[in-house]
Amino acid sequence: MDLSVGTLLAFLAGLVLLYIAGILLVIPIKFLIKLLLNAILGGILLFVFNLIGGLFGLSIAINPFNAVIVGILGIPGVILLLILQVIL
């Protein structure tokens, strides 16, 4: 078996490209998983807010858009949605 320098360099270049492609595919998946988990936590936070806010006549609709906003921003997201509800 004859291994030349060109063959070895082509093999190494292929490995580097495979590594780069793997990283480019993993980063968006991590981002989507984090966004999904934040949306689930945001939905739970909205549910708890609606339970407590129902005593005072406050409620926010639970939908994916609101859940993502609250999941990313946290408590300030709930305040933002309340302000938007009053304005609109």
Check residue 84 and give its pLDDT.
92
CA-closest candidate to residue 71, choices 80, 57, 87: 80
Q: Return averaged pLDDT per consecutive 10 residues of the chain, 88 residues in all.
A: 78 90 85 89 91 90 89 90 90
- Domain residue limits, the chain: 28-87
